[in-house]
Chain A
């Protein structure tokens, strides 16, 4: 949340003299019917108001906690790279099978056909899915915001070129282009795949941001900034984008959940994460035939996908309500 809050402009020495404020406020009120400033010295910025509303949204907060726990468990249990985790078993090793591999105390998620520990595998898959989802969210948000802001602010030929490029990206079936590019980027591993997916999913955000910027650039405070002689870059970064941050953040959150689903579909089709590594989609793909005989092989990755996507969607919902309180004003 810190990125949407206004940073304190000048550090500590910017603190104004509050001591004389009380009398000043009274003097002002006496001068007319203008209401005095709020007497308490707490000052809410727009960002703080949004945060306040967000933290009242129970669904979003629960989802935030669940997602947080999931992230912590996924990364600490089997460890990341060279750092070992607290879970004793390795996802690459095959162990002796207990019965048909159904969940036991030893193997809480069960074992796969070859005897691998399914908990470790699912955690590894969750790690990958989360990494891909968040990288895609970040990449597509940056690209979409830049494209949308430039197109909306400059209009004219800049807008024509950028929006036609956007149209081209939109008309190519997302899954097809992601599959082809993902295959090509497959060699560079998970980060290459994440980058490629980010580069094909920014289009809807670009259009949203452009629309927002189109209306913001006509607002009086932008006109006032231009009249003072403010340059285009400063207007975009300081006056226009901060006001569009609601749209951007909400859209970014939702793009994260769609990225998870996109990665799942790609891996399911065999174009995503390649063996020996695994992702939730790959796991489902590998064990789709086992659905009736060894259902846990299907359910655990399925539940993980569902949980992550639901949590992210709930958080997005909470953010949207927080940014646009008019939607549920009568709630009491």
Chain B
């Protein structure tokens, strides 16, 4: 690893002129409802071998900013100011010159690798496309080079992988392919737009390791767009904070994350839940008062859930899981994607049947109930889903959405329902005039509040929350979590809280259950599982979660690498052979890679 002292302004490796610079960038979109001023005159530059993190919440204009570097904005956008990639001014290029620039000078790593790759083309086809378009290599030569690229990003058996399709690869491998495509033409700067948001934490840590070694070894500049402060702390040399189209603060990672000057940055950082800090960050949850003799709010025993598939063997999504949630207790269900945590949540709601085992809510078994009894049981369970955009009926005003459970269970009359809805709107801190609004008029956080209000309409004893804050911005998440803890203290419901975010679980849960591939790996009180994990899987999971503090995160990263070494795993990095030849595109006009001459010395270390 390159030694990197983050306390000094600008890393030692960042030399030469900026590879990407924005001067007075200003973007306006023309829309049906008038002009939207998305970016308001910002200045920013990325130097070779430097990671600049562009941080902000959704709608702050960070993705729009990055897209201007590629000249890839929709037609209703008007761009002012200058965007320079190397020595080229993006706005002055014509179609052909733009296409030459993309890939050669600036490349992109997208958020969701599944959609960034074409599902009907092989990995080899997609990797060689860029090489052939830019005249770097053709035919067999291109294939050989593609295999080299896959080997560089650490994909085993690259020759075989070239013939495979994206769906045959795991999410992490797909993102590696996307990175391989980005570095195929040896761009001077890579724009990584939320490159790890769609990935699990352990995979995220690997991809970040890969990106870090990429800039060290190839001296590429990286513009990292993210909302995750942990990722910023892990990766960034410099940080730029965006708010509503303006840059409110720029500085080194240490300056911005440890000594923020702007009010917004301070608030943003205070809103990030900190793994290891435990409960109390956003208010206290009520202690569990139930005794072991009381009926558990939810009791799963030896639960097995299977998905029957046509033409394929049955898939066992959940295998022999036993867990219980006492009354008034919050149990965090943690695991990576595909671990079966959402499946368990849906089964606890009675939405999917169990193949065997039992699901009982306050002593009554879901599987033995039908019709009226089942409906009566459902009264006692509330549910909050992950995506606030899809969990509210777009055609119903908020008041109707929240009152719906009352109507379904035929409780009260119009007046009492209305009273209850207004009471709940107060409880979730929404203005009362939200009553007649429609979901699309609310922000994501407000919608999630509506979701929570609806879940609480019938005063449930059990709340099942499936990733309720994962789709929200950090500051919104903090508010929702604060409100959630306050509500839990007030209504004392039991909760099965499903999340992949260990920090959120750390501040909410009384007990934690860790799942892997449909089986329980570890379960116990929060302090035990999250702070002194016994199982190897839990240790890996916790080690991979980044914290929003650069120095601490560096310690954690080194500890993680030590853990991996101890477990006999390799640390992900870019494998650059000594005879790695930088590609020289034959049709390159003007701008070439000569400014990056010093790379070999770096690459060999």
Contacts and interface: CB of A to CB of B under 8 A. Distances in A.
Interface stretch (A29-37, A81-89, A136-144, A277-285): A29-37
A27 B430 CA distance: 9
B485 to A, nearest CB: 14
B76 A16 contact: no
How many residues of B sit at the interface, in one of the four size bands? 35 or more
Interface string A202-240: 000000000000000001110111111111001000110
Given A31-B479, A53-B32, A225-B404, A24 B350 contact: no
B445 A34 contact: yes
Interface stretch (B16-24, B110-118, B433-441): B433-441
Contact of A14 (B385, B390, B399): B399
A227 to B, nearest CB: 4
Given A34-B476, A330-B74, A228 B385 contact: no
Contact of A25 (B264, B350, B397, B433): B433
Contact of B434 (A37, A44, A46): A37
A32 B430 CA distance: 12
B414 A10 contact: yes
B390 A219 contact: yes
Contact of B394 (A46, A224, A226, A329): A46
B479 A34 contact: yes
Contact of B408 (A6, A14, A47, A234): A234
B443 A44 contact: no
A31 B429 CA distance: 9
B385 A21 contact: no
Given A25-B431, A230-B404, A220 B387 contact: yes
Nearest to B400: A9
Nearest to B57: A33
B454 interface: yes
Interface in A1-46: 6, 9-10, 13-18, 20-21, 24-25, 27-28, 31-35, 37-38, 41, 43-46
A95 B408 CA distance: 67
Interface in A279-332: 325, 329-330, 332
B391 interface: yes
B379 interface: yes
A243 interface: yes
B391 A221 contact: yes
Contacts of B351: 223, 226-227
A238 B407 CA distance: 12
B396 A223 contact: no
B123 to A, nearest CB: 29
A227 B431 contact: no
B454 A6 contact: no
B422 A16 contact: yes
B395 A21 contact: no
B263 to A, nearest CB: 11
B189 interface: no
B478 A242 contact: no
A91 B530 CA distance: 89
A91 to B, nearest CB: 46
Given A31-B429, A32-B476, A220 B390 contact: yes
A330 B475 CA distance: 32
A146 B231 CA distance: 50
Contact of A221 (B392, B405, B422, B475): B392
B431 A21 contact: yes
A33 B432 contact: no
B443 A330 contact: no
Q: Report which residue of B76, B387, B436, B473 has the largest number of chain A beta carbons within 10 angstroms of its beta carbon.
A: B436
A226 B32 CA distance: 36
B383 interface: yes
A169 B431 CA distance: 53
Contact of B390 (A43, A221, A226, A231): A221
B74 A228 contact: no
Contacts of A31: 429, 479
Contacts of A44: 438, 441
Nearest to A53: B32
B393 A6 contact: no
A45 B433 contact: no
Contacts of B350: 227
Contact of B397 (A6, A21, A28): A6
A43 B397 CA distance: 10
A228 B405 contact: yes
A49 B72 CA distance: 29
Contacts of B75: 330
B437 to A, nearest CB: 5
30 contacts: A6-B395, A6-B396, A10-B418, A14-B399, A16-B436, A17-B433, A24-B431, A28-B430, A28-B431, A32-B445, A33-B476, A34-B479, A37-B433, A38-B441, A43-B397, A44-B438, A45-B438, A46-B394, A47-B395, A221-B390, A221-B392, A223-B346, A224-B451, A226-B351, A227-B381, A228-B409, A229-B408, A231-B408, A239-B393, A330-B76
Given A16-B432, A223-B351, A224-B451, 20 more contacts: A6-B395, A13-B415, A14-B436, A17-B433, A24-B433, A28-B429, A32-B478, A34-B446, A43-B397, A45-B397, A220-B387, A220-B391, A221-B390, A223-B346, A223-B383, A227-B349, A227-B350, A228-B404, A228-B458, A231-B408
